[in-house]
Amino acid sequence: MQQQFKLEKKELQSFGRYSSAFLSAVFMGVGQLFNGQWLKGIFLILLNTFVIIPNLPVLLQNFKGLITLGEIPMEDHSLFMMIYGIISVILALLILFIYIANIRDAYKNGLIKDKGGKTKGFKGALRDMMDSGFPYLILLPGFICIIFFTLLPMVFNILIAFTNYDLYHSPPKHILKYVGLKNFFDVLTTTTWARTFKNVLIWTIIWSVLATLTTYALGGFVAVLLNNPRIKFRKIIRTLLILPYAIPSFISILIWKGMLNTHFGVINKILTSVFSIQNIPWFENAHYTKVAIVLVNLWLGFPYSMMLITGILQGLPNDVYEAATVDGANGLQKFRYITLPLVLFAIAPLLIMSFAYNFNNFNIIYLLNNGNPPIFGYQGGAGGTDILISWVYKLTFEKLKFNYAAAMSLIIFILIVGFSVYNFTRTKSYKEEEMLR
């Protein structure tokens, strides 16, 4: 009997938390009233009654529009319906989060009552929220901006990649339709499109590797050279070498475009007068244009890597070099076995980030020669020096093939994320291995 009485008492003690949670699940705020939290309960009931429930039909209507993208041309605008649908999904997830938090709060406070405790009032709950949730309140504005200025356009772009949105299917005159993976198959499998995509992708990878390695190689060489204390006027030399980076790249690229002009550029004039080399078609031949792009990018990018590696070199421990000197190591051996590993350890994540940046380095490709010269057989307006992102620009603003451009953007995103995550997780910097043992 005594044991049965204890079990019944235990069951009665657990009744409050489950009852309050059930009541809040039926209607937000009722569980809080059951727990004696009047202000919180009334606030949630008013929120549910006058804000959430009246707007549920609008959310459901926008969900339908997101699925159908409209039914009547010139009346239903597919793009707006898609945007409203995405916003409705975000708001629905927010409502779901509030609803679950409401149930959890009712259960938590019901548990406190079951144990004989006293639930906190509005002021106490507000104080606890300020104490434990202050970091989240500070991050809330930035989180909202990320949702509406990053996540919303990203989801919109992904959805466009699965539609037939192009010049001949533009709303509101036409209703957009979902076409599944057709755009991806067209780009990746159709003979002419697939050949264009393959060639542009190969050049994009080659360009990204060359742009990254050349800037860091030259910057590292100059940094190591100027780190030698026997060189005089090192500060003045560093200041002069940093000037290309201080000038806006937009201006520098346009200046180089004029200097590399085939007929009037100063580069060809110097080559002709000094080396008797005839005019090099920098912008008429795809191979020469690629060389020019890499060289101009080297001019623009090596000062940054030089200053970065200079800072790393100045932070390296001297006792390691002194120990190497005692062991009889020469300058080349010190560089190979001490300087180079330590510098690579520090800049490995930056190399990956630089590769990702150059993979989408639109400015230099577009400003120097607009991705030209044209190549016979290339689709979508792609030129001989176009990378994927500049090709996407042409597909969007010149050819008005928004569906293909969105599909290409999604492919670029997958390639960049996959490469960056895979390589970054394999670096010693990520694994936090100790270099000095």
437 within a domain of the structure (yes/no): no
pLDDT tens, residue by residue, 24-42: 999 999 988 888 888 888 8
Same domain for 124 and 216, yes or no, is: no
Angle between helices 362-369 and 286-314 (to 10 degrees): 140
266 within a domain of the structure (yes/no): yes
CA distance 121 to 39: 8
Contacts made by residues 79-88, CB under 8 angstroms, sequence distance 24+:
79/165, 79/171, 79/176, 82/156, 82/159, 82/160, 82/176, 83/152, 83/156, 86/152, 86/155, 86/156, 86/159, 87/62, 87/152, 88/58, 88/59, 88/62, 88/63
pLDDT at 9: 46
What is residue 374's DSSP assignment? B
138 has pLDDT over 90: no
pLDDT at 337: 87
Q: Which of 133, 163, 180 is the last residue of a domain?
A: 180
Beta bridge partners of 383: 374
Number of domain units in the chain: 2
Instruction: State which residues form the domain around 79.
Output: 2-180
Cis amide linkage into residue 349, ω under 30° from 0: no
120 within a domain of the structure (yes/no): yes
Average pLDDT, the chain: 87
Same domain for 239 and 289, yes or no, is: yes
1 has pLDDT over 60: no
| Half-sphere exposure of residue 8: CA atoms within 13 angstroms, side-chain side | 5
Low-confidence winner among 10-24, 284-298, 371-385 (lowest mean pLDDT): 10-24
Same domain for 151 and 266, yes or no, is: no
pLDDT at 6: 47
Q: Which of 163, 180, 197 is the last residue of a domain?
A: 180
434 has pLDDT over 70: no
Q: Which helix (H) or strand (E) holds 11?
A: helix 2-13
14 within a domain of the structure (yes/no): yes
Amino acid at 72: I
Same domain for 209 and 148, yes or no, is: no
Same domain for 239 and 380, yes or no, is: yes
Same domain for 33 and 118, yes or no, is: yes
pLDDT at 84: 95
373 within a domain of the structure (yes/no): yes
Same domain for 372 and 223, yes or no, is: yes
Q: Which of 121, 150, 180 is the last residue of a domain?
A: 180
Q: Give pTM, 2 decimals.
A: 0.85
Same domain for 157 and 209, yes or no, is: no
296 within a domain of the structure (yes/no): yes
**String of DSSP letters for 245-264:** HHS-HHHHHHHHHHHT-TTT
Low-confidence winner among 123-137, 218-232, 403-417 (lowest mean pLDDT): 123-137
218 within a domain of the structure (yes/no): yes
Same domain for 285 and 416, yes or no, is: yes
Same domain for 284 and 225, yes or no, is: yes
436 within a domain of the structure (yes/no): no
Q: Quick one: tokens of 247? A: 């000038």
Same domain for 195 and 310, yes or no, is: yes
14 has pLDDT over 60: no
- For 233-249, what is the mean pLDDT? 87
Q: Name the 3-class secondary structure at 281.
A: coil
Residue 361 CA: distances (Å) to CA of 5, 289, 301, 364, 388: 75, 16, 12, 7, 10
Same domain for 326 and 365, yes or no, is: yes
- Cβ contact 187:197 at 8 Å: yes
pLDDT at 254: 93
pLDDT tens, residue by residue, 149-176: 999 999 999 999 999 999 999 999 999 9
289 has pLDDT over 80: yes
CA distance 200 to 189: 15
CA distance 219 to 236: 16
Q: pLDDT-based confidence at 15, cuts 50/70/90?
A: low
CATH code assigned at 341: 1.10.3720.10
